[in-house]
């Protein structure tokens, strides 16, 4: 018998260590591991980490086998791993109904449990008795299921189990918007059961999704049906959220050592090496001690000052835990393994030696990794004074199996028994390696032969959709329906993937379904998506955005392929040519570059070899020969879909003429025909020149609403509710977005006579009213009549117009919506969208994008309670209802709010730098400022500005939002439509005025506006209690080219809540030297610093909540400037600067100093006009911060006077 080699002997030593510290605790029936000898429950996360040492040791034995016994040992260890992984699978399978519910609800009460009974796999605590929702634990299981399967282990046995794993993918794929309790099971660090978005959960989910995508769970023995599918857009969402969060860990934790698991082994979730290094350095700098790393700052777990009789902490007591947080050796094991993967020998030796010094050695030489080291109770005060000097004592589990496992794995790696690639067969470690530039392939298709011929005249050789067969082209929404079939399983009552829109990454692949190749058009082209796709310039903008996004985000094998159809809506009004914006974009695509992205135009058939493919094998026929028959049945597996009200006009080009036996094509045609086209029953507008408007000139749209409200017993605010209308002469007065409504009840005796037809009893004659639809000379009149019918008779009331039955009010409104869309009447489109209570399909996704980037939202006009705050993702219908409620009865404001939310989400994805130092986006206030900007640019009244805003096309609306966010100057062009035009909207367009000067068109347009259209308003709108100052650029202020610029800037920054860099950290330091800050009657107490650390998002949100109580954005910004001056006091060597500092008083003191100086210089009262709402001089608002007469000069003087008793006697600060 040959002797053992040295490596064999050392492996045997690790085998004994594993047996005595981990395997001896494994349950022989379930394979699960208890947390410790005292804690018998099995935690999912701890079990997965604890088994890694056994997995690694098995791989090492197989690699370094000296004899057959070593191979046998390797097999035994591997089967122990399989036993545990299948034990966890059994635990989760028993809660399959929770997986099904959570896909829709994403509620904490529907989460898989975090721990189970070790002997039975059953639950041990109730749904509400533990912080069960821990996305990182489920993700960690899936990540190592993928890694272990790739290494050769067989863990999944049946197709039912494959379906369950596929549904676990759905369970974690929304991690980027799911607030959970994190890897420490506490959520918010106060441990009060408050879930929050955790970077560690998002990162682990991203890694798991990437690892398991296209993986065959049966390994080498599997087939297409055992492959897992992941949508790339969900992965990219996680990526973008991580980039926006790190190095912060969550709202309440500015840094967390648990992030080591996602920036390095095992997740390797971050692609940006610089961000990896920044996060790692933050952890080492702020959390590392002599015995390991703290979990996070002010962590009270097992500290001497923690009250063991209660789980939660009081907010004020968190400061007691500062500098005495327990230190965990497990984090050094992460850093040890990280050093091996980075091939950093210095780091490996550093942490290996550090671990050797803190391990606990038993008499038999076994080295144990303790859970944590704590400060002895009698030495707490000493540690407070001199952090990291007191010798600590072992507490908690011994051994800590999680840490013990990673320590053994790190030793195996560092000693060469394992190579990094062996425990990372899916190559996660290569995530930070750069990839070659992506070439985005674009295939332009013509909807019809007519369009194909038009394009040929412009030297654009394209194919028609019918020409690309056997490749089948379908709308993107069809792919959403197909993916709703993924993961369906009758045996487990699993319904598959929830119906969601597929992003551009998903639609840029080619799909093989039942041996047929499919290409799907991007979702933004689909005109089911609200009215945005009706604007060709908006389509171009979204195409440009998507191409740039593909160029930066694409990571899959093969090139992305965008199928871009040219439809009849992209033609000019006469249908004889291609819209100039579309044509210009097509020519730019031919150049090979667009928005910095490399593009290549070609035919779909030319891209078959180079494209990225996905085989949707779940659509293959089942054992009975059918898979899709349940779609046509009344079973419970029909996907939940959002059925649009009308079918796009170009859907017919996607119809498939196929044999009746082709079930797949029947299914797709069924989806295309799932809605009925709107019949043409609405009469055309009258062309008779003798006709008059249905409602008299002096009647506003508000009168229509008031009359309807009275008829239905509703109470409406007497505020002006903007509805867009522009008719000849002075038809109806426009409503003013710049005036904030005062809610009052409509008086019952208020009678509005709209000259409506009456019957013999004096009531409204609805039959005659329906007949008047034929006499309307504008679409707006028809809309008002239909609104009256909609509210009083209901949307399903049959009008019997023209003697036709089935012409319901809703169907006529939908037809009117289509007519307005054809005429590009954007104001009317928004009006009708509000009447129909339409909802943008991607509204919930847009809201989630913004929230996931740590931005809170408010909807409705300020202040609270009318302004509603959104802090967590909401279901689509609930979110839409909230927006309509916050908008009161102003339906156009509700529709515009949805539109702005979508634009903000587009920018937060593509230009996150625009949102720097913003925490709360107040959409109602942004809309108000947009109207103010138009009023300023056109020197028009608030009513006209509101009208112009509502009549902007989506492209210009999006551009205006960009100017508001960026603060860039812009110009406005206003043109008049031809007399014979059917349009009623004024043509307003937005143009950027760059530093290099405006274009010729912009110069002529802007100069003409400035010289001819600018006029002083004779009756400027007076500010209300919550309106902006200066009467919104009224006649009393003679603004020239430079006047108004600083007022405008303050108004913009205040509206979008932008603050200076490092503002919140400075406020935190200031609060430590006073008792609080009083802002507009609300106090920000200094006690908040006892709970929150300077860089917590939670603290910043708390400061914002106080500042946002100020309704005037420019006054809010002056308060911010004042606080910034006050923060200079925190840098002075003074112990305190007084009690509660009244910031408003300081602002008014500065204003008085300003007025005194101006009056001494001879300024008259007309120049020094005061804002009635805030009693601040309008000229002070419009003063630059710097200079002898700048705001900072007066604010500094006021601050020095206010706190002079606490300042040093040198007087330097006052100077």
**Mean pLDDT taken over the chain:** 82
Over range 61-75, report the average pLDDT: 85
Of the candidates 726, 728, 727, 720, the residue with the CA atom closest to the CA atom of residue 703: 720
Separation of first and last alpha carbons in the chain:
92
**DSSP secondary structure code for residue 1010 in this structure:** I
Q: Are 1022 and 739 in contact (CB under 8 A)?
A: no
Owner of token pair 């959970």: 180
Lowest mean pLDDT among 1111-1120, 1123-1132, 1140-1149: 1123-1132
Owner of token pair 């919104």: 1032
Lowest mean pLDDT among 204-218, 967-981, 1067-1081: 967-981
Residue with the bigger pLDDT between 119 and 501: it is 119
Residues 6+ apart with CB under 8 A from 1034: 1017, 1020, 1021
Residue 212 has pLDDT above 80, yes or no: yes
pTM listed for this prediction: 0.85
Q: Are 619 and 627 in contact (CB under 8 A)?
A: yes
- Taking the mean position of all CA atoms in its chain, how far away is CA 329? 36
- Taking the mean position of all CA atoms in its chain, how far away is CA 931? 26
Of the candidates 496, 985, 528, the residue with the CA atom closest to the CA atom of residue 726: 985
Query: 370-381: string of b/e by CB count within 10 Å (b at 16+)?
Result: bbbbbbeeebbe
Q: What is the pLDDT of residue 754?
A: 56
Over range 1140-1152, report the average pLDDT: 93
- Strand pairing partners for 367? 361
Phi, psi of 367 (to 5 degrees): -100, 125
Residue 171 has pLDDT above 90, yes or no: yes
Residue with the bigger pLDDT between 107 and 712: it is 107
Over range 636-642, report the average pLDDT: 39
**DSSP secondary structure code for residue 863 in this structure:** S
Residue 702 has pLDDT above 50, yes or no: no
Q: What is the pLDDT of residue 986?
A: 53
Q: What tens digit of pLDDT does each residue of 939-960 get?
A: 888 888 888 888 898 998 998 9
Q: How many CB atoms lie within 10 A of CB 135?
A: 29
Q: What tens digit of pLDDT does each residue of 773-791 get?
A: 877 878 888 888 888 888 8
- Strand pairing partners for 441? 561, 600
Over range 872-892, report the average pLDDT: 84
> How many CA atoms, within 13 angstroms, populate the side-chain half-sphere of residue 521?
23
Q: What tens digit of pLDDT does each residue of 1195-1213 get?
A: 999 998 888 766 655 544 4
Tokens at residue 7, please? Answer: 């490596």
What's the rounded Cα separation, in Å, for the pair 650 and 527?
9
Q: What is the pLDDT of residue 1206?
A: 64
pLDDT category at 1 given cuts 50, 70, 90 is very low
pLDDT category at 649 given cuts 50, 70, 90 is very low
Residue with the bigger pLDDT between 731 and 262: it is 262
Q: What is the pLDDT of residue 889?
A: 67
Q: Are 1027 and 929 in contact (CB under 8 A)?
A: no
pLDDT category at 984 given cuts 50, 70, 90 is very low
Angle (CA) 960-966-969 rounded to 5° is 65
Phi, psi of 578 (to 5 degrees): -85, 140
Residue 1192 has pLDDT above 80, yes or no: yes
Residue 818 has pLDDT above 50, yes or no: yes
Phi, psi of 511 (to 5 degrees): -120, 140
Q: What is the pLDDT of residue 1044?
A: 75
Q: What is the pLDDT of residue 1042?
A: 55
Q: What tens digit of pLDDT does each residue of 1062-1118 get?
A: 999 999 999 988 899 999 889 999 989 988 989 888 899 899 989 988 888 899 999
- Strand pairing partners for 443? 563
Over range 818-839, report the average pLDDT: 84
Residue 742 has pLDDT above 70, yes or no: no
Residue 646 has pLDDT above 50, yes or no: no
Residue with the bigger pLDDT between 694 and 1174: it is 1174
Helices (H), 1031-1111: 1045-1055, 1063-1071, 1088-1091, 1097-1107
Q: Are 861 and 932 in contact (CB under 8 A)?
A: no
Residue 403 has pLDDT above 50, yes or no: yes
Q: What is the pLDDT of residue 493?
A: 93
Lowest mean pLDDT among 339-353, 552-566, 581-595, 865-879: 865-879
Residue 563 has pLDDT above 50, yes or no: yes
Report CA Rg, the chain: 33
Residues 6+ apart with CB under 8 A from 25: 33, 34, 37, 401
Over range 521-526, report the average pLDDT: 85
Residues 6+ apart with CB under 8 A from 467: none
Residues 6+ apart with CB under 8 A from 1163: 1179
What's the rounded Cα separation, in Å, for the pair 414 and 587?
57
Q: What is the pLDDT of residue 724?
A: 33
pLDDT category at 829 given cuts 50, 70, 90 is confident
Q: What tens digit of pLDDT does each residue of 405-441 get?
A: 999 999 999 999 999 999 999 999 999 888 888 999 9
Residues 6+ apart with CB under 8 A from 156: 89, 145, 149, 162, 165, 217, 218, 226
Q: What is the pLDDT of residue 638?
A: 40
Per residue, what are the HEC states of 71-109?
HHHHHHHHHHHHHHHHHHHHHHHCCHHHHHHHHHHCCHH
**What is each CA distance from 773 to 224, 449, 699, 783, 1166, in whole angstroms?**
59, 37, 18, 9, 52
Lowest mean pLDDT among 404-413, 506-515, 646-655, 1106-1115: 646-655
Q: What is the DSSP string of 328-391?
A: BTHHHHHHHHHHHHHT-HHHHHHHHHHHHHH-EE-TTS-EE--SEEE--GGGHHHHHHSTT-SP
User: Following CA atoms 1125, 1126, 1132, 1137 in sequence, which dihedral angle do they give, to the nearest 10 degrees?
Assistant: 160
Over range 200-228, report the average pLDDT: 94
Q: Are 1046 and 1183 in contact (CB under 8 A)?
A: yes
**What is each CA distance from 895 to 523, 534, 872, 922, 1128, in whole angstroms?**
20, 16, 21, 15, 44
**Percentage of the residues of the chain whose pLDDT score is greater than 90:** 45
What's the rounded Cα separation, in Å, for the pair 137 and 507?
30
Q: Are strands 987-992 and 1076-1079 parallel, antiparallel or unpaired?
A: unpaired
**Percentage of the residues of the chain whose pLDDT score is greater than 70:** 82
Over range 680-688, report the average pLDDT: 64
Residue 132 has pLDDT above 50, yes or no: yes
What's the rounded Cα separation, in Å, for the pair 1204 and 1139?
13
Q: Are 144 and 266 in contact (CB under 8 A)?
A: yes
Q: What is the pLDDT of residue 704?
A: 54
What's the rounded Cα separation, in Å, for the pair 1044 and 585?
37
pLDDT category at 912 given cuts 50, 70, 90 is confident
Q: How many CB atoms lie within 10 A of CB 792?
A: 16
- Strand pairing partners for 442? 562, 601
Residue 771 has pLDDT above 90, yes or no: no
Phi, psi of 1147 (to 5 degrees): -60, -45
Over range 721-735, report the average pLDDT: 34
Q: What tens digit of pLDDT does each residue of 616-633 get?
A: 988 888 665 555 444 434
**DSSP secondary structure code for residue 1170 in this structure:** B
Give me the helix-helix angle, 96-105 and 159-173, nearest 10°. 30
Residue 86 has pLDDT above 90, yes or no: yes
Q: What is the pLDDT of residue 755?
A: 65
């Amino acid at each position: 018998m040959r002797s053992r080699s040295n490596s064999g002997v050392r492996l045997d030593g690790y085998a004994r260590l594993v047996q005595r510290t981990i395997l001896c605790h494994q349950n022989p029936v379930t394979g699960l591991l208890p947390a410790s000898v005292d804690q018998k429950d099995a935690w999912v996360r701890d079990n997965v980490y604890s088994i890694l040492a056994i997995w690694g040791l098995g791989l090492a034995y197989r690699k370094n086998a000296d004899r057959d016994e070593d191979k046998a040992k390797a097999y035994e260890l591997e089967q122990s791993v399989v036993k545990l992984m299948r034990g966890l699978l059994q635990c989760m399978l028993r809660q399959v109904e929770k997986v099904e519910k959570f896909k829709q609800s994403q509620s904490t009460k529907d989460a898989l449990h975090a721990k189970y009974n070790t002997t039975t796999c059953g639950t041990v605590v109730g749904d509400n008795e533990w912080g069960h929702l821990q996305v990182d634990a489920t993700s960690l299981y899936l990540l190592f299921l993928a890694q272990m399967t790739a290494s050769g282990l067989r863990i999944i046995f049946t197709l039912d189990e494959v379906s369950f794993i596929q549904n676990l993918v759905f369970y974690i794929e929304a991690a980027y918007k799911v607030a959970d309790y994190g890897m420490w099971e506490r959520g918010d660090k106060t441990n009060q059961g408050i879930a929050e978005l955790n970077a560690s959960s998002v990162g682990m989910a991203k890694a798991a999704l990437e690892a398991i995508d296209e993986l065959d769970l049966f390994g080498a023995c599997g087939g297409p049906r055992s492959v897992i599918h992941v949508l790339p857009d969900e992965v990219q969402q996680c990526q973008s959220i991580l980039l926006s969060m790190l190095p912060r860990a969550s709202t309440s934790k500015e840094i967390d050592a648990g992030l080591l698991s996602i920036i390095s082994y095992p997740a390797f979730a971050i692609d940006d090496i610089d961000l990896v290094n920044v996060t790692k350095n933050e952890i080492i700098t702020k959390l590392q001690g002599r015995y390991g790393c703290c979990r996070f700052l002010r962590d009270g777990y097992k500290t001497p000052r923690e009250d063991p009789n209660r789980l939660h902490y009081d907010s004020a007591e968190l400061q007691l835990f500062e500098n005495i947080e327990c230190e965990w050796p497990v984090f050094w094991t992460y850093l040890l393994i990280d050093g091996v993967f980075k091939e950093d020998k210095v780091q490996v030796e550093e942490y290996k030696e550090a671990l050797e010094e803190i391990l606990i050695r038993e008499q038999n030489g076994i080295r144990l990794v303790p859970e944590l080291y704590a400060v002895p109770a009698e030495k707490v005060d000493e540690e407070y004074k001199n952090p990291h000097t007191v010798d600590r004592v072992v507490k908690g589990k011994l051994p800590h199996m999680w840490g013990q496992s990673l320590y053994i794995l790190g030793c195996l790696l560092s000693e060469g028994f394992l190579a990094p690639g062996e425990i990372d067969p899916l190559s996660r470690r290569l995530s930070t390696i750069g990839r070659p530039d992506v070439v985005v392939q674009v295939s332009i298709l013509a909807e019809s032969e007519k369009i194909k011929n038009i394009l040929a005249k412009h030297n654009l050789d394209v194919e028609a959709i019918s020409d690309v067969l056997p490749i089948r082209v379908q709308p993107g929404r069809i792919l959403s329906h197909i993916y709703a079939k993924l993961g369906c399983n009758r045996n487990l009552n699993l319904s598959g993937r929830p119906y969601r829109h597929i992003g551009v990454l998903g639609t840029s692949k080619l799909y093989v379904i039942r041996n047929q190749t499919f290409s799907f058009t991007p979702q933004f082209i689909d005109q089911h998506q609200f009215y945005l796709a009706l604007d060709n310039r908006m389509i171009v903008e979204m195409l440009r955005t998507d191409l740039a996004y593909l160029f930066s985000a694409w990571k899959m094998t093969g090139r992305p392929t965008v199928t871009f159809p040219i439809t009849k809506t992209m033609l000019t009004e006469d249908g004889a040519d291609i819209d100039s914006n579309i044509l210009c974009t097509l020519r730019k695509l031919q150049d090979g570059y667009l928005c910095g992205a490399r593009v290549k135009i070609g035919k779909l058939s030319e891209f078959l070899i180079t494209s990225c493919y996905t085989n949707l094998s779940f659509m293959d026929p089942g054992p009975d020969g059918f898979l899709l028959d349940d779609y046509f049945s009344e079973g419970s597996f029909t996907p939940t879909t959002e059925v649009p009200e009308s079918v796009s006009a170009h859907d017919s080009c996607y119809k498939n003429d196929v044999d009746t036996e082709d079930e797949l094509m029947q299914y797709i045609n069924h989806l295309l025909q799932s809605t009925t086209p709107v019949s043409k029953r609405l009469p055309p507008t009258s062309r008779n020149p003798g006709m008059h408007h249905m409602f008299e000139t002096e009647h506003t749209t508000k009168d229509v609403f008031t009359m309807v409200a009275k008829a239905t017993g509703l109470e409406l605010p007497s505020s002006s509710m903007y509805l867009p209308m522009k008719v000849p002469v002075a038809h109806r007065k426009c409503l003013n977005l710049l005036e904030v409504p005062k809610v009052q009840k409509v008086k019952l005796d208020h009678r509005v006579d709209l000259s409506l037809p009456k019957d013999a009893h004096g009531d409204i004659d609805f039959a005659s009213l329906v007949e008047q639809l034929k006499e309307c000379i504008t679409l707006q009149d028809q809309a008002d009549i239909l609104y009256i019918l909609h509210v009083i008779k209901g949307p399903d009331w049959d009008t019997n117009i023209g003697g036709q039955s089935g012409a319901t009010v809703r169907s006529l409104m939908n037809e009117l919506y289509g007519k307005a869309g054809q005429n590009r009447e954007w104001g009317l489109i928004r009006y009708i969208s509000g009447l129909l209570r339409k909802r943008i399909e991607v509204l919930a996704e847009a809201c989630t994008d913004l929230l996931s980037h740590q931005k809170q939202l408010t909807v409705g006009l300020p202040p609270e309670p009318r302004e509603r705050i959104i802090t967590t993702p909401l279901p689509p219908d609930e979110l839409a209802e909230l927006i309509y409620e916050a908008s009161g009865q102003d339906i156009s404001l509700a529709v515009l709010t949805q539109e702005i939310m979508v634009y903000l989400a587009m920018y937060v994805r593509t230009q996150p730098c625009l949102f720097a130092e913003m925490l709360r986006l107040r959409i109602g206030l942004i809309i108000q400022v947009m109207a103010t900007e138009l009023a300023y640019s056109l020197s028009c009244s608030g009513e006209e500005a509101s009208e112009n805003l509502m009549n902007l096309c989506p492209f210009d609306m999006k551009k205006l939002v960009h100017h508001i966010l960026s603060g860039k100057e812009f110009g406005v062009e206003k043109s008049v439509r031809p007399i014979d035009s059917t349009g009623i909207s004024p043509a307003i367009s937005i143009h950027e005025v760059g530093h290099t000067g405006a274009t010729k068109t912009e110069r002529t347009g802007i100069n003409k506006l400035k010289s001819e259209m600018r006029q002083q308003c004779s009756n400027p709108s007076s500010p209300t209690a919550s309106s902006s100052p200066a009467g919104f650029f009224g006649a009393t202020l003679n603004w020239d080219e430079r006047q108004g610029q600083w007022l405008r800037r303050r108004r913009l920054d205040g509206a979008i809540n932008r603050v200076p860099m490092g503002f919140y950290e400075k406020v935190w330091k200031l609060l430590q030297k006073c008792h609080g800050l009083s802002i507009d009657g609300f106090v920000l107490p200094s006690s908040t610093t006892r709970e929150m650390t300077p860089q917590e998002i939670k603290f910043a949100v708390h400061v914002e909540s106080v500042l946002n109580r100020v309704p005037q954005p420019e006054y809010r910004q002056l308060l911010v400037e004042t606080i910034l001056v006050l923060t200079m006091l925190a840098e002075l060597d003074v112990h305190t600067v007084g009690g509660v500092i009244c910031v408003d008083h300081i602002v008014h003191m500065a204003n008085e100093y300003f007025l005194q100086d101006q009056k001494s210089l001879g300024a008259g009262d007309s120049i020094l006009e005061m804002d009635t709402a805030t009693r601040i001089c309008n000229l002070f608002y419009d003063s630059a911060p710097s200079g002898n007469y700048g705001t900072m000069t007066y604010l500094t003087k006021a601050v020095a006077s206010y706190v002079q008793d606490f300042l040093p006697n040198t007087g330097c600060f006052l100077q």
